[in-house]
Amino acid sequence: MAALPPLDESPDAATNRAAWARWQAGLSVRFTVLEALPPLRVLLILDNLAGHKSTTFVCWLMAHGIMPLYTPISGSWLNMAESIQRILVGRALAGQHPASPAQLMEWLEAVARGWNARPTPFIWGGKRALRRQRARERRYGLGGSGAVSRQPIPHPGEAINGHKQGK
């Protein structure tokens, strides 16, 4: 918090309130902002733990110019975001122990730059994706048109239920 701009550098009240409101505009659940707001200094993204939404905590954040934003509940993309976070942190630390927060941030930024230079795309492979894949495998393509059937269409001369078809 020491690295944040000081609280006394305040824009006019209308501009300041507009900055706070702009970040709440797209939220499905908004919290009531304090009547007297300091300048907005930081956006803090948190998960939806009850403790992160307590009135005492949220008011403390707002009093210090920090706008809490919460990740959506049941956001499947969060699993992939957490995966990349684990990969980057693991690579940045790799058995090392940073001497300061600044050193940790420097290491994380270096790893992120390396990742961004040659990113590895993630493909969602959750339970729903597996279910859809199995359903696709149970279908039979019809003549290359994109149409499918749930059972194979026999070709002329093939046996259907043990009986040979005539021409």
Any domain includes 50: yes
Roughly how many angstroms between the first and final C-alpha of the chain, as a whole number?
Answer: 83
Any domain includes 49: yes
Any domain includes 51: yes
Report the distance separating Cα 47 and Cα 43, nearest Å.
13
Any domain includes 58: yes
Number of structural domains the chain divides into = 1
Any domain includes 117: no
Any domain includes 143: no
* Span 34-81, pLDDT tens digits: 888 888 888 888 877 777 888 899 889 988 888 888 877 766 667 777
Instruction: Name all contacts of 30-35 with Cβ < 8 Å and 24+ positions apart.
Output: 31/58, 31/68, 33/62, 34/59, 34/62, 34/63
Any domain includes 90: no
Range of the structural domain that residue 58 is part of: 13-70
Chain centroid offset of residue 86 CA: 14
Any domain includes 157: no
| Per-residue pLDDT, 5 | 67
Output 59 or 150, whichever has higher pLDDT.
59
